């Protein structure tokens, strides 16, 4: 499919420019989380004003933006105010109502558009898209079946036992391991579907994984595409724990295929903005050729946070360039990097008592870059920040990452 808008309808929005009413060029974002915060910082550094639409009065992005529209994402008055303030609008997470983006797009460039975000919001549509563009991307998703009704459940139990053991995933609103249940038998499948509320789901066959990776792509209104090299990711309990971003983190042949596939997926969508495509690396000799596409995020991604400190243009810089119609420079990574996710667990000791992380010891180490997101309440599993470690070579970065992980008691230490 193609959702590319008429290029002639989008004129570049130059940083520091002023409109006829004397207002500074302003870029808007739907959502006030940490991804929105980092987008706001990137836009402001270039000289843009920013506006955030987010219901939470204490949201990380809202607290640092020029304008904070504190309304629900679908509130007509709030959307009208955002459109009035901004020359272009983006989103910082995929669960913003697609209809709200459609409404905004009646008067302002919106990147990515509602149709693409709608696909990413629904695993059934997302997997259908991956299958539809398999010929051009060169990869497909894991074998799966759709379960929306009792009849479909019974059909899978009778005819698709080849999908077991598998993972039952809700079609909507699942993230960071939520909305997912591992099942081994048809009885467990039925129980899991009931546990998830009998909502629309996909049953995905579990594959023999050796690694996970992701690729960040930026595409402009004119179809120009640039990308970062694939990064290898380690998840703990369904949440990203460690990202390895350096030469050799992925086998070169697989890295090349993943990068080409991500670009092809973005092109097939007619995507505008920053897109993250996540892949599974499966055992060699499988029918999938070693690479399977898992899912996509129509926004910058946790696994790309290292680009702020290790590259000459970050994923957020490219998000700003893409939506504003500026040229997209091919990013260059100048330092090997490892990113460590900081969850709220770090703020509690082994007995569950509150503690302050030992920043004194961590920040004494060379090459450590701390990013906290401005969230005032730490909770187990909540993303509070991240640490990126850079250095002159991979060995140094790995050594420092192990020391940081040990100091903070972070998971994933054994795979650094």
pLDDT digits (tens, 9 = 90+) for 136-195: 999 999 999 999 999 999 999 999 999 999 999 999 976 666 789 999 999 999 999 999
| Low-confidence winner among 14-23, 88-97, 268-277, 322-331 (lowest mean pLDDT) | 14-23
Structure tokens at 332: 């260059």
- Is there a binding annotation on residue 123? yes
Q: Would the pLDDT of 264 be above 90?
A: yes
The annotation status of 180 as a binding-site residue, yes or no, is yes
Model confidence over 181-234: pLDDT tens digits? Answer: 999 999 999 999 999 999 999 999 999 899 999 999 999 999 999 999 999 999
Least confident of 75-84, 145-154, 343-352, 403-412: 403-412
175 is in an annotated binding site: yes
Minimal CA–CA distance to 220: which of 176, 270, 268?
A: 270
Residue 212, annotated ligand binder?
Answer: yes
- pLDDT tens for 305-354 read 999 999 999 999 999 999 999 999 999 999 999 999 999 999 999 899 99
pLDDT of res. 4:
39
* 3-state percent helix, strand, coil for the chain, nearest multiple of 5: 35, 25, 40
pTM, rounded to two decimals: 0.94
The pLDDT confidence band at residue 2, using thresholds 50, 70 and 90, is very low
pLDDT(69) > 90: yes
235 annotated as ligand-binding: yes
**Bridge-based pairing state of the strands 26-30 and 88-91:** parallel
* Residue 416 pLDDT exceeds 70: no
Confidence of residue 284 (pLDDT cuts 50, 70, 90): low
Strands 291-297 and 180-183: unpaired
List the CATH code of the domain at 209-415. Answer: 3.30.470.20
Q: Is there a binding annotation on residue 295?
A: yes
pLDDT at 90 over 70: yes
pLDDT band at 22 (very low <50, low <70, confident <90, very high): confident
207 among annotated binding-site residues? yes
Answer yes or no: is 294 a known binding residue.
yes
Q: Which residues of 341-360 are buried (b: 16+ CB within 10 A; e: fewer)?
A: bbbbbbbeeeeeeeeebeee
- Residue 169 annotated as binding site: yes
Phi and psi at 79, nearest 5°, equal -65, -40
Residue 184 annotated as lining a ligand binding site: no
Are the C-beta atoms of residues 94 and 100 closer than 8 Å to each other?
no
Topology (CATH) of 143-205 = Dna Ligase; domain 1 (3.30.1490)
Asked whether the predicted pLDDT for residue 414 surpasses 70, the reply is: no
Based on its alpha-carbon atoms, the radius of gyration of the chain, rounded to whole angstroms, reads 21
C-alpha–C-alpha distance, residues 355 and 344, integer Å: 11
**Token duo for residue 368:** 């450590």
Query: Residue 5: pLDDT band by 50, 70, 90 thresholds?
Result: very low
Residue 3 has pLDDT above 60, yes or no: no
Is residue 57's pLDDT more than 80?
yes
Q: What pLDDT was estimated at residue 362? A: 97
- Per cent of the chain over pLDDT 90 is 86
Q: Kindly list the distances between the CA atom of residue 94 and the CA atoms of 65, 152, 219, 372, in Å, as whole numbers in the listed order.
A: 20, 27, 17, 22
Provide the pLDDT for residue 34: 97
pLDDT (0 to 100) of residue 23: 86
- Please tell me if the domain spanning 7-121 has the same topology as the one spanning 209-415: no
pLDDT at position 238: 84
From first CA to last CA, the distance across the chain in angstroms is 40
Q: Please state which of the four CATH numbers 3.40.50.450, 3.40.50.20, 3.30.930.10, 1.10.645.10 is assigned to the domain occupying 7-121.
A: 3.40.50.20
Residue 176 marked in a binding site:
yes
Confidence of residue 283 (pLDDT cuts 50, 70, 90): confident
- Across the range 364-368, mean pLDDT stands at 97
- Largest Cα separation within the chain, whole Å, is 67
Residue boundaries of the structural domains of the chain: 7-121, 143-205, 209-415
């Amino acid at each position: 499919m193609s959702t590319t808008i008429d290029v002639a309808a989008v004129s570049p929005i130059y940083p520091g420019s002023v409109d006829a009413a004397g207002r500074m060029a302003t870029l808007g974002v739907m959502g006030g989380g940490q991804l929105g915060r980092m987008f706001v910082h990137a836009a402001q550094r270039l000289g843009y004003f920013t506006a955030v639409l987010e219901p939470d009065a204490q949201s990380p992005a809202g607290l640092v933006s020029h304008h904070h529209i504190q309304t629900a994402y679908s509130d007509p008055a709030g959307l009208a105010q955002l459109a009035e303030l901004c020359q272009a609008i983006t989103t910082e997470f995929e669960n913003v109502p697609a209809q709200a983006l459609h409404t905004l797009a009646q008067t302002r460039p919106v990147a990515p558009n509602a149709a693409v975000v709608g696909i990413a919001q629904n695993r059934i549509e997302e997997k259908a898209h991956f299958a539809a563009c398999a010929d051009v991307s060169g990869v497909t998703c894991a074998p799966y079946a759709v379960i929306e009704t009792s009849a479909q459940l019974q059909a899978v139990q009778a005819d698709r036992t080849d999908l077991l053991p598998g993972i039952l995933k809700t079609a909507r609103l699942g993230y960071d391991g939520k909305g997912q249940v591992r099942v081994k038998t048809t009885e467990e499948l039925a129980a899991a579907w009931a546990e998830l509320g009998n909502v629309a789901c996909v049953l995905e066959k579990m594959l023999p994984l050796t690694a996970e990776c992701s690729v960040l792509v930026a595409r402009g209104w004119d179809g120009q595409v640039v990308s970062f090299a694939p990064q290898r990711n380690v998840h703990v309990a369904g949440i990203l724990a460690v990202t390895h971003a350096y030469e050799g983190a992925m086998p070169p042949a697989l890295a090349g295929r993943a990068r080409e596939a991500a670009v092809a997926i973005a092109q097939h969508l007619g995507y505008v903005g920053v897109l993250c495509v996540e892949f599974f690396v499966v055992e060699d000799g499988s029918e999938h050729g070693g690479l399977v596409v898992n899912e996509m995020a129509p926004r910058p991604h946790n696994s790309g946070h290292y680009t702020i400190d290790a590259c000459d243009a970050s994923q957020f810089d490219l998000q700003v360039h893409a939506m504003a119609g500026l040229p997209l420079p091919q990013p260059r990574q100048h330092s090997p990097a490892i990113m460590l996710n900081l969850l709220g667990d770090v703020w509690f000791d082994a007995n569950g008592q509150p503690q302050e992380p030992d920043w004194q010891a961590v920040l004494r180490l060379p090459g450590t870059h701390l990013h906290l997101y401005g969230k005032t309440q730490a909770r187990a599993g909540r993303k509070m920040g991240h640490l990126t470690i850079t250095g002159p070579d991979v060995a140094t970065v790995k050594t420092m990452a192990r020391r940081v992980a040990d100091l903070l008691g972070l998971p994933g230490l054994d795979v650094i």
